[in-house]
Structure 1
Amino acid sequence: MFDPARSYDLIGDVHGCAHTLARLLDTLGYRRQAGSWRHPRRMALFLGDIIDRGPRIREALHIVHGMVEAGQALCIMGNHEFNALGWSTPALPGSGRHYVREHTPRHARLIKESLQQFEAYPGEWRDFLGWFYQLPLFIDAGRFRVVHACWDAGLIESLRALYADGRVDEPFLQAAAVPGSFADTVFNRLLRGTDMRLPHGLTLTSDDGFTRAFFRTKFWEENPQTYGDIVFQPDALPEQVAQTPLSAAEKTELLRYGPKEPLLFVGHYWRSGKPAPIRPNLACLDYSAVLSGKLVAYRLDQETRLDPRKFAWVEVERPELMQ
């Protein structure tokens, strides 16, 4: 799969911003030739979440799929591709569900734009759903790693025993309909990250209107002391919660990706500001493109520690976000 002599442009969550993706590829030196965006020496690597939310989901999928089919890109699965598969896949009898991802109002809201934009192209949507199964949940290239939300070495080792290349199948997807199953744990951890329940039964309503009893947590902090030390999401915790000390049990349960591990690239987390490493071996490339943010790439060559000068991005222009 990997040519060690080749350089890679790792690209964060696109979410249907096809025009912005084309501008970023152009900025990176890719040109549209023979039906695909191509670079003479580099390959793109997409971190998942190509679909949902944005105004040009179908166009974005055609760009990414075309590049993958032409050998010009690789793409991993994001939680939104998993959501689409779960939405369209009946659950097994006895699971207590009709679909792997139940058709609740909240879930319907998240996938609404994708379904609407493919209403006139049902065959294409079925084909893309089939292609989503070809997207691995992770890539381990030795000197660098790629996963949509969180690298959990233990889970990935167990998953490799079943699916050596990280590409799962429909039975595994259907198994995820059972809360707490291995499949459910894999999808939640690798594609959604780690989280922690808010104390005292508190809930938070995020800027996108969803109310949650959990908050997303860092999986690399070396010596956290409070909830505020581990929060990793756009929505801040209330000050009183942020100052709450972590218990010994909570500290023990935290996942840690060590500073001496290989380079790790993730998306998923809706960052803002100027793109930069989180630490020398960890970068998040999701900078909220579909919320008028940036579509970000990291231009990886042979380095073993991240170079802040190698982040590249384009600002998402307002016309992109209009149908």
Structure 2
Amino acid sequence: MSRNHALEGYDLIGDVHGCGATLATLLERLGYHCRAGVYRHPRRKVIFLGDLIDRGPRIRLAVSIARRMVEEGEAYIVMGNHEINALTYCHRARGGTGREWLREHTPRHNRIIKETLDQYRDHPQEWEEVLAWCLDIPLCLEFEGLRVVHACWDHALIEGLRRERPDARIDMDFLEAAVQPGTREFRILDRLTRGCHVPLPEGLEIHSGDGFTRRSFRAHFWARAPRTWGDVVFQPDNLPGDLEQRPLTETEHARLSYYAPEERPLFIGHYWCEGIPALPTSNIACLDYSAVKFGRLVAYRWSGEARLNADHFVWVRVPREEEARPEPWEIDFD
């Protein structure tokens, strides 16, 4: 940033999922203004927590805003699982893998990415550029005083990743290895961008509010000594029956990550929280509040504090009008 003012801090923004008009509104509320096609603030920068794409009606707008800010040094971003999904869905597998695409084109996978592909259908070159840009997004960020990852900060996996890739960026070789369960690359991408999942007992399912059927639940990583499933479940959907009382097995417990309360502030997205933004711990903020389900697009204004403060959340309710298709000026806003 070529400016005379010192950086005051960062505004961290949760999963946008194509709510591009609401993103512009939130940036304006935070004091950013669009100049020469880029949203800028004289004393702050944005950090996007990933999942810019899929589901929402203004995906191109959301990506354009974020990408321009990042390229102009006004923002940072970490990789979300939906960016990973797009990269693997749109790249063919090499011979000998037994699959045509890195992410198989199943009905479920087709449904997740449908809105994104529809909105870029008449802009194929732009979509190719977006895919190339996504591949350059780091999996995590660590600055003095804070850390950022889309779903889960796993110390061992991140330390191992950074020994080989200090900037935490991946490439196509890494991505191709990561679609094979059991590989180190798979474990890194799965944990950092999707978090920890605990399988449900045979025959039980969760019929999620987003229309998908799930056979596992999302578990958080900040319980010091969890004993039951209810101690770690972190998702809007309730567990079936009385499963919250089910004891964690040794295997399940060993699979969990842990982020201690004395560590520096950590910002995550991914988990489809609902209601008024709140802090799960004094040093962790989840900023995904189901924007594309007409929830809230949430930011946290961080200015160096070691212990987070719920008063620093800023959000915009996503209106039903966000469903409407964008006008051309909303994309070509410069």
TM-score by shorter chain over 0.5: yes
The secondary structure found in structure 2 opposite 1:86 is: helix
2:208 match: 206
Query: Pairwise mapping of residues 60-209 of structure 1 onto structure 2 (< 5 A)?
Result: 60-209=62-211
1:300 to 296, 299, 302: 302
User: What are the Cα deviations for residues 167-188 of structure 1, in whole angstroms up to 9, with x where unaligned?
Assistant: 1111111111211111111111
AA at the equivalent of 2:319: E
2:263 match: 261
Cα gap change, 1:4 to 1:218, in 2 (>3 Å):
farther
The secondary structure found in structure 2 opposite 1:199 is: coil
1:281 match: 283
Measure how far apart 1:5 and its partner are: 4.3
The secondary structure found in structure 1 opposite 2:266 is: strand
Measure how far apart 1:98 and its partner are: 1.4
Q: Are the equivalent residues in 2 in contact too, given 1:52–1:112 (CA < 8 A)?
A: yes
User: What are the Cα deviations for residues 155-175 of structure 1, in whole angstroms up to 9, with x where unaligned?
Assistant: 011111221101111111111
The count of corresponding residues between Structure 1 and Structure 2 is 322
The secondary structure found in structure 2 opposite 1:10 is: strand
Q: Are the equivalent residues in 1 in contact too, given 2:229–2:243 (CA < 8 A)?
A: yes
Distance 1:8 1:54 in 2: 25
Distance 1:161 1:248 in 2: 29
AA at the equivalent of 2:72: A
Larger mean Cα displacement after TM superposition, 140-149 or 116-125: 140-149
Larger mean Cα displacement after TM superposition, 169-178 or 242-251: 242-251
Distance 1:261 1:98 in 2: 43
Q: Are the equivalent residues in 2 in contact too, given 1:137–1:147 (CA < 8 A)?
A: yes
AA at the equivalent of 1:57: I
AA at the equivalent of 1:282: I
Measure how far apart 1:247 and its partner are: 2.6
Distance 1:160 1:59 in 2: 32
The secondary structure found in structure 2 opposite 1:125 is: helix
Q: Are the equivalent residues in 2 in contact too, given 1:195–1:214 (CA < 8 A)?
A: yes
Q: Are the equivalent residues in 2 in contact too, given 1:18–1:56 (CA < 8 A)?
A: yes
Measure how far apart 1:210 and its partner are: 1.4
What's the TM-score, normalizing by structure 2? 0.93
User: What are the Cα deviations for residues 175-215 of structure 1, in whole angstroms up to 9, with x where unaligned?
Assistant: 11211111111111000000111124422221122122111
Q: Are the equivalent residues in 2 in contact too, given 1:97–1:177 (CA < 8 A)?
A: no
Distance 1:175 1:202 in 2: 31
AA at the equivalent of 2:24: A
Distance 2:230 2:241 in 1: 8
AA at the equivalent of 1:309: D
Structure 2 unaligned spans of 5+: 326-334
Distance 2:6 2:249 in 1: 44
AA at the equivalent of 1:48: G
1:244 match: 246
2:317 match: 315
Distance 1:268 1:15 in 2: 11
Measure how far apart 1:321 and its partner are: 2.2
Larger mean Cα displacement after TM superposition, 66-75 or 111-120: 66-75
1:229 match: 231
User: What are the Cα deviations for residues 114-158 of structure 1, in whole angstroms up to 9, with x where unaligned?
Assistant: 000000000000000000011100001131000000000100111
What's the TM-score, normalizing by structure 1? 0.96
Q: Are the equivalent residues in 1 in contact too, given 2:152–2:194 (CA < 8 A)?
A: yes
- Give the % identical residues: 52
Structure 1 unaligned spans of 5+: none
Measure how far apart 1:92 and its partner are: 2.6
Distance 1:322 1:34 in 2: 26
The secondary structure found in structure 2 opposite 1:298 is: strand
Larger mean Cα displacement after TM superposition, 239-248 or 120-129: 239-248
User: What are the Cα deviations for residues 59-87 of structure 1, in whole angstroms up to 9, with x where unaligned?
Assistant: 11111111111111111110001100000
1:270 to 269, 272, 279: 272
